[in-house]
């Protein structure tokens, strides 16, 4: 027996729809002979598909039930601690509330051999503070250019600026976008007056405090000046951000007032004022002091001082 186009085979004797006369569906149903009864009917394709789906769901639930979640610490004594991993609930949609964000120090899981220790990646190693660079080391020289600062600090541009090298014997540069050393070169352009003042201040600071860490310098201006991300000002090469020295000597921006070496920070501030700073914005909580109208407490300056110089000849 073969299969031919336009044929459909049934287990019961019924007329092919093209052969029977048009009549209501109820009449067709009445004419169907009774289906044969079997004590154990053969498994159809639909039954096989349903059975495979149920078996796959059961296997997935078994796998989920054996997974571990972050461990809970059980304190056994004042100097010892043991960690156990709780089992994930059988329902995949149910969420556990056990230490969702804290990584475990050690976890255990149930395996074929009983209780097994699960390997946990070692925590990242925090690099030590960078040591002060020897003054005799060679660094990139400054390529000087005569510049013109046009307009205001918050609405201006810089023509022919000088780039501060990304590092020197007395300073490193800090990128506020990536929170890392060094800064990008195109963010380090300033008026020649600004660059000379920075080098004079950081050089005198390190001469007076040979054991102090290098000064961390942030943004100046873009090569051509103008709008700069993270700043409203810094547009004409006369502004520079200088981060407060840290007690732990890390060459990075402080993240808390307790990390600031206030004595060194005040000395650095005083030197910028002596170098002709027009205004220096400092954080309210820093405790830094200076002449009224020159040293100005300002929001969002708790980790750095914003130094602004007057235009040359202005």
Residues 61-74, mean pLDDT to the nearest whole number: 55
Confidence of residue 137 (pLDDT cuts 50, 70, 90): low
The pLDDT of residue 297: 97
Q: Could you give the percent of the chain with pLDDT greater than 70?
A: 61
Residue owning tokens 């130094």: 307
The pLDDT of residue 95: 42
Q: Could you give the percent of the chain with pLDDT greater than 90?
A: 54
Is the Cβ–Cβ distance between 201 and 121 less than 8 Å? no
Buried b (16+ CB within 10 A) or exposed e, 51-90: eeeeeeeeeeeeeeeeebbbbeeeeeeeeeeebebeebee
pLDDT in tens, 70-99: 444 444 444 444 443 334 444 444 444 333
Average pLDDT value over all residues in the chain: 77
Instruction: Output 33 or 175, whichever has higher pLDDT.
Output: 175
pLDDT in tens, 138-159: 789 999 998 999 999 999 999 9
Confidence of residue 120 (pLDDT cuts 50, 70, 90): very low
Residue-wise DSSP of 103-139: PPS-EEEEETTEEEEEP-PPPPPPPPPPPPPPTTS--
The pLDDT of residue 230: 92
Confidence of residue 243 (pLDDT cuts 50, 70, 90): very high
The pLDDT of residue 75: 42
Residues 120-128, mean pLDDT to the nearest whole number: 45
The pLDDT of residue 300: 93
Q: Is 148 exposed, middle or buried (0-12, 13-18, 19+ CB in 10 A)?
A: middle
Q: Is 159 exposed, middle or buried (0-12, 13-18, 19+ CB in 10 A)?
A: middle
Q: Where in the chain is the domain with CATH 3.30.1380.10?
A: 148-309
> Alpha-carbon distance 188 to 180, whole Å?
15
The pLDDT of residue 109: 46
Strands (E) across 107-259 are located at 107-111, 114-118, 148-152, 155-159, 162-163, 171-173, 189-190, 215-217, 239-243
The pLDDT of residue 58: 84
Q: Which two tokens stand for residue 262?
A: 């206030």
The pLDDT of residue 22: 53
Q: Does the pLDDT at position 233 exceed 80? A: yes
Q: Does the pLDDT at position 245 exceed 60? A: yes
Can you give the pTM of this predicted structure? 0.59
DSSP state of 221: B
Instruction: Output 3 or 199, whichever has higher pLDDT.
Output: 199
pLDDT in tens, 158-207: 999 999 999 999 999 999 999 999 999 999 999 999 999 999 999 999 99
Q: Does the pLDDT at position 293 exceed 60? A: yes
CATH architecture of 148-309: 2-Layer Sandwich (3.30)
Is the Cβ–Cβ distance between 305 and 289 less than 8 Å? no
Among 35-44, 230-239, 245-254, the minimum mean pLDDT is found in 35-44
Residues 255-279, mean pLDDT to the nearest whole number: 97
The pLDDT of residue 28: 46
Is the Cβ–Cβ distance between 32 and 55 less than 8 Å? no
């Amino acid at each position: 027996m073969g299969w031919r186009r336009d044929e459909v085979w049934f287990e019961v004797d019924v007329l092919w729809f093209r052969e029977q006369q048009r009549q209501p569906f109820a009449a067709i149903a009445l004419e169907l002979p009774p289906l044969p009864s079997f004590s154990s009917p053969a498994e159809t394709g639909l039954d096989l598909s349903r059975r495979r789906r149920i078996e796959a769901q059961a296997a997935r639930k078994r796998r989920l039930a054996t997974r571990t979640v972050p461990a809970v610490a059980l304190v056994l004594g004042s100097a010892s601690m043991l960690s156990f991993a709780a089992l994930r609930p059988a329902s995949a949609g149910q969420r556990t509330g056990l230490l969702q964000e804290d990584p475990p120090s050690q976890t255990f899981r149930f395996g074929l051999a009983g209780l097994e220790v699960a390997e946990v990646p070692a925590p990242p190693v925090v690099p030590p503070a960078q040591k002060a660079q020897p003054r005799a080391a060679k660094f990139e020289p400054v390529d000087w250019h005569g510049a013109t600062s046009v307009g205001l600090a918050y609405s201006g541009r810089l023509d022919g600026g000088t780039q501060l090298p990304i590092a020197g014997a007395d300073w490193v540069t800090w990128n506020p976008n990536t929170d890392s050393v060094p800064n990008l070169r195109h963010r380090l352009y300033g008026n020649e007056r600004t660059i000379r003042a920075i080098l004079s201040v950081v050089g005198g600071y390190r001469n007076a405090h040979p054991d102090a860490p290098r000064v961390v310098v942030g943004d100046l201006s873009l090569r051509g000046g103008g709008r700069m991300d993270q700043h409203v000002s810094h547009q004409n090469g006369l502004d520079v951000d200088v981060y407060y020295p840290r007690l732990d000597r890390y060459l990075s921006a402080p993240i808390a007032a307790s990390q600031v070496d206030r004595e060194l920070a005040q000395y650095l501030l005083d030197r910028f004022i002596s170098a002709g700073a027009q205004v220096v914005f400092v954080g309210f909580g820093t405790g830094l002091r200076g002449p009224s109208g020159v040293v100005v407490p300002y929001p969002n300056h708790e980790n750095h001082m914003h130094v602004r110089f007057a235009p040359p000849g202005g």
